[in-house]
Amino acid sequence: MRTALVVTALAAVGASAAAVPFGASGERAQIAKMKRDYVSKLEQRSSLAKRQSVTTGGQSLLAPTSKDVVLELNVLFVAADDATILEFALILEHLEDAFYSQALSKFNASSFNSAGYNGLYPVLKQVAADEHQHVEFLTSALTAAGATPPQALNKPESDRNYTFPYTDVHSFLALSQVIEGVGVSAYLGAAGDISDATYLTAAGSILTVEARHNAFIRFINGYVPFASPEDTPQSASNVVTIVTPFFKSCPSGSAPTIKGHPSLNLSSTNATIGSTLKIAPSNSSVTDSQSGTVYCGFASGLAAGFSTWSKGECQVPTANVTNGQTYVVLTTGPSLSDNTTLAGPAIINLGPQNVSVVLTGSANVTSKN
């Protein structure tokens, strides 16, 4: 039976945040200045690249007149791909922004206190503020770099454009854990495809915050905050597959341009290593057409485990799989590449949900059991 959540230590978090008010002198002011400098740098680089593109008439790729022109033109062409990645990241941030905005409008502090999450609401407000700031930061960075940011969904319309399957505080926090975990995996998966260090810094600065959000929500839900020694990268196609059900409709300019895979249906999202998993594609034709072996592929950290899929079942491997948020696909592999993926991923959470911590002589922190 799940015990009540007591998080009196969160008061200390609020006190710490109050000591350095947002926008005031000190640490937050320094962070704001760093962001302004970063955006200014992108504006300067974009302006220089455009000027050189005009003055060379597009001929410098064949007959470069200076080393600087070659470098900046390379940046211009590389940035086109990097900007596409950050545009995709911005679409995800819009989704997270709407997710927290809707939930924290639907539920108030009393809702969380009544559900046993005393003092949690103001901390989630900070998480929501972080997600909104990510939207503003990426929008500014893309605009400064000469790219067109994906359009935001107007908040009055957000209920029509997004659908999030939670009904109460508990199911909201469970979904928050999944979404934050997907955010970490999305940024981590994109990192290897970003070729310009400036763009990589932008993505990395958000990735680390998303990871802290995820660790905190995991602990609130009773899971180990750091369940595995490495986080799990996911391809853009896999991420689109996961988040597509959250989009009820997408106005022009706000939808992901990357194609996902067919979805998977799971009998349960909680499993253990070595257990049997009931799993099937939502469209059976993707497996009916296969004459060879179909595998369940489990992406876990930087490793992957595989087992054969038969009659709607497969076993969670005992090797190359660790606890934590794990992504399962049906594949013709054994491989997790987009080219061999038939359906998925679906998400399972491996590991016990019974974390409890008591700090002797200090505030007690007890998570749900």
Taking all residues of the chain, what is their mean pLDDT, rounded to a whole number? Answer: 79
Phi, psi values for residue 297, rounded to 5°: -110, 130
Q: Which residues contact 211 (CB under 8 A, 6 or more apart)?
A: 184, 231
Residue with the two structure tokens 């049997």: 276
Q: What percent of the chain is modeled with pLDDT above 90?
A: 57
26-40, 87-101, 290-304, 327-341: least confidently modelled range: 26-40
Residue 58 predicted with pLDDT over 90: no
List pLDDT tens digits, range 241-268.
999 999 887 766 666 778 899 999 998 8
Side chain identity at 182, as an amino acid letter? V
Best-predicted range by mean pLDDT among 48-52, 245-249, 319-323?
A: 319-323
How far apart, in Å, do the first and last CA atoms of the chain sit? 7
What's the whole-number mean pLDDT along residues 169-173?
Answer: 98
Residue 21 predicted with pLDDT over 60: no
Residue 271, SS3 per DSSP? strand
Domains and CATH numbers, the chain: 82-246 (1.20.1260.10), 264-350 (2.60.40)
Tokens representing 358 are 């008591």
Phi, psi values for residue 149, rounded to 5°: -65, 145
CA distances from 28 to 35, 39, 133, 212 (A): 11, 17, 13, 18
